[in-house]
Amino acid sequence: AAALAAHGQRLQAGEQRLQAALAHQLARGHQDLRPLAQRLQRAARVSLQGQAQRLAAAQQRLQALDPQQVLRRGYAWVEGEDGRPLLSARALTPGQVVSAVWADGRARAQVLDIDAGPPRG
């Protein structure tokens, strides 16, 4: 019985040492994780800033391609009566009614004559 009691005490002491070692390792693990968490937050912040900058640049490029922006610079486009853009002088016929569209409005016009240049190829 005495040997069994001594063995039980050794087991209990071993359990206490293991619990203390585990608590120490856990505290150390928390200390190791803190700088990693800070690095992760910093990396996420930098990544988000980069993505925001790329998005802003893409928005500017998209806005530059907006047909209304082109019209505001003084250009116009010509549409047929069906509202589809006329992409070539060769698509016109004398007497045809077209619409010229600017940024601030439109005008209906009639084609009087066509002077088509050489075909592009």
CA–centroid distance for 21 within its chain: 48
* Percent of the chain's residues with pLDDT above 90: 60
User: Taking a C-beta distance cutoff of 8 angstroms, is the pair 82, 91 a contact?
Assistant: no
Q: What integer best gives the mean pLDDT of the chain? A: 90
Is the per-residue pLDDT at 30 higher than 70? yes
* Percent of the chain's residues with pLDDT above 70: 98
DSSP codes, 18-78: HHHHHHHHHHHHHHHHHHHHHHHHHHHHHHHHHHHHHHHHHHHHHHHT-HHHHHHTT--EE
pLDDT single digits (tens) 53-104: 999 999 999 988 888 888 888 899 999 999 999 999 998 999 999 999 999 9
- Looking at residue 74, its amino acid is G
User: Taking a C-beta distance cutoff of 8 angstroms, is the pair 94, 112 a contact?
Assistant: yes
pLDDT-derived band at 121 (thresholds 50, 70, 90) equals low
User: Taking a C-beta distance cutoff of 8 angstroms, is the pair 86, 94 a contact?
Assistant: no
Rounded Cα gap, residues 96 and 35, in angstroms: 74
